[in-house]
Structure 1
Amino acid sequence: MTNNKQIYISVEPHEKRLAIVKDKCLEKYYVERPQDAQILGNIYKGRVASVVNGIAAAFVDLGIGKNGFLHLSDLVKPSEGYEDILQEDEGTVLIKEDKKPGGRIGDLIKNGQDLIVQVAKEALGSKGVRITSHIALPGRYLVFMPYEDHLGVSKRISDPSERRRIKEVLKEIRIPKGVGIIVRTAGEHCGKKEFITDIKYLTRLWKNIQAHSGRAKSPAIIHQEYDIILRILRDQLSEEIDAIYVDSPPEFKRIRHFIGMLMPKFKNKLKLYTGSKPLFEDMGIDRDIEKIYNRTVYLKCGGYITIEQTEGLVAVDVNSGKFKGKKGPREMALRVNVEAAQEAARQIHLRNLGGIVIIDFIDMDSKGERDQVFATLVEAMKEDKAKTNILPISEIGIVQLTRQRVTKSLEGISYSACPCCHGKGLVKSASTMAIKALREVYSKLNGRKGVSVSITAHPDVAAKLSGDFADSITRLERQLRSRINVKGDSSLHLEELRIVTG
């Protein structure tokens, strides 16, 4: 029996893309470009550039331009930053208690000191990368933490008997002294052999990093995390996947070696695509990818949702659209909201939307119906591995949630701010600019009379001045005893004016 779920990998000189498709529907999409390659998980030998006791933090030179931000909490206590590095919520329960941070950061590190640190959060907007001194090396089934001394099991492994079994297996394994181990969700039902293979691999990796650190002069990178392809395969390849299609022979060989080393039981799932058409075009994935960037997403029931990203939050608005129910507005609201809850969860993950997300559902009078919609959203969000916190639905149908944001959204990778509106999504109207032009003429002349004036503007603004505002120009000419000439120039931005007096 097949699960009808596949992974498609397309590799081009300037871009790597990976899509996960389930039942012919795009479920997940990832893209990486050389100039925007992710540094999350990279390990650096950095040098402390400055220590600021007032904010309990230090800035560390990593050799990447902007200094990394190291907070006291990422320096003195076992960090949960490995969840950021994995970009998923393992919800780990530790067997050993952590100590709370305390003291001054200036008492622990000094300017010029070398530190081994790992990137726990990518630079977003004006913020630099966030780093931690508590290293976490993810394997297929385990997370290897060389500076911690505790064992843990993912909370997503919820069966008490399975949790006990895993702990017993870990007790039988020889774990390097002083090393912490977290069993990932993928470790459920795994045996001693799989855990030992992971530990051996991660121990060798850590020894190589230590050796590199000893030779390197700070600031320097001493370990680079896998690229998007190997990272997703390591973290998400499972029995659910029927096949992995790759369109590049060199990439096929690289992936085959990686899977053979880390997950040999999945080796037979890998297939080289040799079709005449581009892989993503042939499978209809390109068409689905284009829809990800649309502001409006239409639902099967006839309703739709609109998604607006701002610097502070993401707003999702649910609308009934063309839905026509037979039982009236109450049935309409419930059916559209249920479908919208499922689609909103899918879009949040597909677009990699992070931070604060507000979903405005259609009003529902019944608490039972609101609870049903909320339960649908919570269930749909369980498919998302990113750490999320969802607040209960309000009486007016508003749901607030936060989603772990450690990398750019898909829109942030694929789009830049519009050079015309500078990201506002709006430009001033031709009428507004025509009025502004007349004001600037009056201000520029400053009471002088008999001076000729030339206004050069975008053709739409010039047309407005010569048409609707022709009477205003005539009155201004009489008032100032001046001649005002208007010219259109298509090379000018709609909000750009050139006013010359002579």
Structure 2
Amino acid sequence: MVAKQLVINSTSYETRVALIEGGQVSEYYIERSRDRGIVGGIYKGKIIRVLPGMQSCFVDIGLERAAFLYGGDIKPEGSHELPEYFDEEGKHEHAHQGDEEEGSETNPPKTLQKNYRISDLVKEGQEVLVQVAKDAISTKGARVTTYLSLPGRYVVLMPSINHIGVSRRIQSEEERNRLRSIVQKIKPEGAGIIVRTASENVPDEKIIADIDFLVKLWESLRVKSLKSKSPCLVHEDLDLVFRATRDLISRDLDRIVIDDKKRYEDLVRFLNRFSVKLGAQVQLYQGETQIFDAFGIEQEVSRALGSKVWLKSGGYLIIEQTEALAAIDVNTGRFVGNKSLGDTIVKTNLEAVKEIVQQLRLRNIGGIIILDFIDMDRSDDRDKVFQALVEELKKDKAKTTVLRISEMGLVQMTRKRTEESLMQKLTVDCPYCDGNGHVKSPSTVSYEVIRELLREFSRSNHEGFVVKAHPQVADRLLEEDKIFIDELKSKHSRKVVVKSFLDYHLEHFEIAPMRFE
């Protein structure tokens, strides 16, 4: 079994990426062509409202909702200093769009630097160049910052901050000094460079080329911004295929498997820019079974939308998510152990720790999280479980803060939220229970129908199929997603008829062979 691999399902309507570690799906990302995320994008915006009481402002960047800009995210004129929420290596929380390995994320800034007032920094009607740090979530607009950063393969360029930092994960002092020396020689005056973990033991010329590329990119963006009228997009980050590969390739990946030939060729070329060895890690999937079915990913994702998660021992977790916080409850379930009750409880809690962290990553649960472990009488047992949790969280790329286990078995923690959770992306409030639960959204079911049609095409020779679905799903297939249905019909030379049924549940659909009389 391959220890760690990236599996990519790429189609014209959506891209899905899954990170598999030890045979389990640990991270899952989805980007749909109609609602692509904007994190990392650089915009020329206009200040439309200043809020002195909140030391923040709203910025029109051309989207439906205005973006939110904290005072602590505004670089004072003429300042080249690091803001207070950079760590000792000069890492900004938005430096790599959530790339944990460089230690880039910290808690959001609460105050302005050096007691600046928001009214000293910006005025209504002023144009500003900002970068999106968080996508819009629920009713909140995107969060932006004026501390811009351009991530490359080996380094991150910060155009307006005079600083050099080296990833903490590079532990050799000799190697750290070598990398720092390279950057010092070619770093543009007034700009900052963060050396990423991927640069360890990389030849000088490759790091220099990466810096040179980013410097030229920044100069072209700067010129474009000067010529453009706000609000407008100045620079868009890579799409999910390249972004995920860039940010995850250094995490000891054994291989990358992708099912689209053109994207496979593009990805190989992209990685060959850095190393032929990296390009060789990419494999084109050509199996008859759809790639996420073949790797067992579809089943894992469906499981991640449920509230109950079984542990191998017979215990289970109950995971409940709200807009304000998430709660995870640990239960012994069918596990009775073979020694004392205390031993059974500790074993269940230790097993739960690994599953909890995996579910946090897979579901991308962020914000405030309460973990309710089974009560443990001995402080030594509580310490053992807490240390296991801390160790397991090191695998998580998102920034986490954890408080010690209380005598009641409760752990309070926070996990950095930069985008919607898996549930927010794939579901909507349930119309059958006044919003107390969730069902899959019409778009999610529509794409499931498309994938099921592909399966039917591959396993049967019928000339056509009839799709029976809820009216909202049928409308989606006949309108917004009609282009994808037409694409399938043309590519596979089959007929597809969509019929609407009022009595169908939103998630329920049927696909039957078309009868010709």
Normalised-by-shorter TM-score class: 0.7 to 0.9
For residues 162 and 333 of structure 1, the distance between their equivalents in structure 2, rounded to whole angstroms, comes to 45
In the alignment, residue 140 of structure 1 is paired with which amino acid? R
- The correspondence of residues 186-205 of structure 1 with structure 2, limited to 5 A, is 186-205=198-217
| Corresponding position of 2:463 | none
| Corresponding position of 1:497 | none
Q: Secondary structure at the match of 1:395?
A: coil
For residues 392 and 239 of structure 1, the distance between their equivalents in structure 2, rounded to whole angstroms, comes to 28
| Corresponding position of 1:18 | 17
Contact 1:370 1:393 survives alignment (8 Å): yes
- Identity across the alignment (%): 40
For residues 133 and 19 of structure 1, the distance between their equivalents in structure 2, rounded to whole angstroms, comes to 31
| Corresponding position of 1:59 | 58
CA, structure 1 residues 156+73, in 2 after alignment: closer, same or farther (shift >3 Å)? same
| Corresponding position of 1:8 | 7
TM-score normalised by the chain length of structure 2: 0.77
| Corresponding position of 2:129 | 116
**What is the CA distance between 1:302 and its match in structure 2?**
0.9
| Corresponding position of 1:240 | 252
CA, structure 1 residues 160+85, in 2 after alignment: closer, same or farther (shift >3 Å)? same
The answer to whether 1:277 aligns with 2:276 is: no
Q: Which moved more, 1:192-201 or 1:42-51?
A: 192-201
CA, structure 1 residues 160+357, in 2 after alignment: closer, same or farther (shift >3 Å)? farther
Contact 2:8 2:15 survives alignment (8 Å): yes
CA, structure 1 residues 24+412, in 2 after alignment: closer, same or farther (shift >3 Å)? same
Listed one character per residue, the Cα deviations across residues 16-66 of structure 1 (whole Å, up to 9, x for unaligned) are 111122232222211111233111111001111122222222211100121
The structure with the larger Rg is 1
In the alignment, residue 282 of structure 1 is paired with which amino acid? A
CA, structure 1 residues 61+370, in 2 after alignment: closer, same or farther (shift >3 Å)? same
For residues 126 and 398 of structure 1, the distance between their equivalents in structure 2, rounded to whole angstroms, comes to 30
- The correspondence of residues 449-488 of structure 1 with structure 2, limited to 5 A, is none
For residues 109 and 230 of structure 1, the distance between their equivalents in structure 2, rounded to whole angstroms, comes to 35
In the alignment, residue 14 of structure 2 is paired with which amino acid? E
In the alignment, residue 161 of structure 2 is paired with which amino acid? E
The answer to whether 1:168 aligns with 2:167 is: no
For residues 281 and 331 of structure 1, the distance between their equivalents in structure 2, rounded to whole angstroms, comes to 38
Q: Secondary structure at the match of 2:377?
A: coil
**What is the CA distance between 1:83 and its match in structure 2?**
4.4
Aligned partner (choices 155, 170, 173) of residue 168 of structure 2: 155
Q: Which moved more, 1:122-131 or 1:373-382?
A: 122-131
- The correspondence of residues 294-313 of structure 1 with structure 2, limited to 5 A, is 294-313=306-325
Q: Which moved more, 1:149-158 or 1:196-205?
A: 149-158
CA, structure 1 residues 86+208, in 2 after alignment: closer, same or farther (shift >3 Å)? farther
For residues 401 and 169 of structure 2, the distance between their equivalents in structure 1, rounded to whole angstroms, comes to 15
For residues 242 and 3 of structure 1, the distance between their equivalents in structure 2, rounded to whole angstroms, comes to 7
Listed one character per residue, the Cα deviations across residues 377-422 of structure 1 (whole Å, up to 9, x for unaligned) are 1111100011111111111111111000010001100000011223
The number of residues matched between the two structures is 424
| Corresponding position of 1:481 | none
CA, structure 1 residues 264+218, in 2 after alignment: closer, same or farther (shift >3 Å)? farther
**What is the CA distance between 1:327 and its match in structure 2?**
0.6
Contact 1:92 1:152 survives alignment (8 Å): no
Contact 1:147 1:179 survives alignment (8 Å): yes
The answer to whether 1:416 aligns with 2:428 is: yes
Listed one character per residue, the Cα deviations across residues 297-348 of structure 1 (whole Å, up to 9, x for unaligned) are 1111110111000111100000000002111211110100000011101100
| Corresponding position of 1:103 | 116
Contact 1:363 1:397 survives alignment (8 Å): yes
- Unaligned residue ranges in structure 1 (runs of 5+): 94-98, 427-489, 494-502
For residues 106 and 22 of structure 1, the distance between their equivalents in structure 2, rounded to whole angstroms, comes to 49
| Corresponding position of 1:40 | 39
The answer to whether 1:291 aligns with 2:303 is: yes
Q: Secondary structure at the match of 1:233?
A: helix
For residues 203 and 263 of structure 1, the distance between their equivalents in structure 2, rounded to whole angstroms, comes to 21
Q: Secondary structure at the match of 1:244?
A: strand
For residues 66 and 248 of structure 1, the distance between their equivalents in structure 2, rounded to whole angstroms, comes to 34
CA, structure 1 residues 188+401, in 2 after alignment: closer, same or farther (shift >3 Å)? farther
Listed one character per residue, the Cα deviations across residues 211-260 of structure 1 (whole Å, up to 9, x for unaligned) are 32133211000101112211110011137222211111121122122212
Q: Secondary structure at the match of 2:225?
A: helix
For residues 203 and 113 of structure 2, the distance between their equivalents in structure 1, rounded to whole angstroms, comes to 34
| Corresponding position of 2:75 | 76
In the alignment, residue 160 of structure 2 is paired with which amino acid? Y
CA, structure 1 residues 165+396, in 2 after alignment: closer, same or farther (shift >3 Å)? farther
CA, structure 1 residues 275+91, in 2 after alignment: closer, same or farther (shift >3 Å)? closer
Q: Secondary structure at the match of 1:36?
A: coil
| Corresponding position of 1:381 | 393
In the alignment, residue 317 of structure 2 is paired with which amino acid? I
The answer to whether 1:127 aligns with 2:140 is: yes
In the alignment, residue 148 of structure 1 is paired with which amino acid? I
For residues 177 and 380 of structure 2, the distance between their equivalents in structure 1, rounded to whole angstroms, comes to 38
Q: Secondary structure at the match of 1:199?
A: helix
In the alignment, residue 60 of structure 2 is paired with which amino acid? D
For residues 223 and 65 of structure 1, the distance between their equivalents in structure 2, rounded to whole angstroms, comes to 18
In the alignment, residue 311 of structure 1 is paired with which amino acid? E
Q: Which moved more, 1:388-397 or 1:17-26?
A: 17-26
**What is the CA distance between 1:161 and its match in structure 2?**
4.7
Q: Secondary structure at the match of 2:186?
A: coil
Q: Secondary structure at the match of 2:398?
A: coil
**What is the CA distance between 1:87 and its match in structure 2?**
4.6
Aligned partner (choices 388, 400, 403) of residue 391 of structure 1: 403
For residues 263 and 50 of structure 1, the distance between their equivalents in structure 2, rounded to whole angstroms, comes to 47
**What is the CA distance between 1:12 and its match in structure 2?**
2.0
For residues 55 and 325 of structure 1, the distance between their equivalents in structure 2, rounded to whole angstroms, comes to 53
- The correspondence of residues 307-456 of structure 1 with structure 2, limited to 5 A, is 307-425=319-437
Q: Which moved more, 1:192-201 or 1:291-300?
A: 192-201
For residues 21 and 246 of structure 1, the distance between their equivalents in structure 2, rounded to whole angstroms, comes to 13
**What is the CA distance between 1:100 and its match in structure 2?**
2.7
For residues 221 and 239 of structure 1, the distance between their equivalents in structure 2, rounded to whole angstroms, comes to 31
Q: Secondary structure at the match of 1:54?
A: coil
TM-score normalised by the chain length of structure 1: 0.79
Q: Which moved more, 1:44-53 or 1:261-270?
A: 261-270
In the alignment, residue 142 of structure 2 is paired with which amino acid? V
For residues 109 and 381 of structure 1, the distance between their equivalents in structure 2, rounded to whole angstroms, comes to 39
Contact 1:245 1:272 survives alignment (8 Å): yes
Contact 1:92 1:153 survives alignment (8 Å): no
**What is the CA distance between 1:210 and its match in structure 2?**
1.6
Contact 1:314 1:356 survives alignment (8 Å): yes
For residues 89 and 390 of structure 1, the distance between their equivalents in structure 2, rounded to whole angstroms, comes to 18
In the alignment, residue 44 of structure 1 is paired with which amino acid? Y
- RMSD of aligned alpha carbons: 2.4
For residues 384 and 333 of structure 2, the distance between their equivalents in structure 1, rounded to whole angstroms, comes to 21
Contact 2:98 2:418 survives alignment (8 Å): no
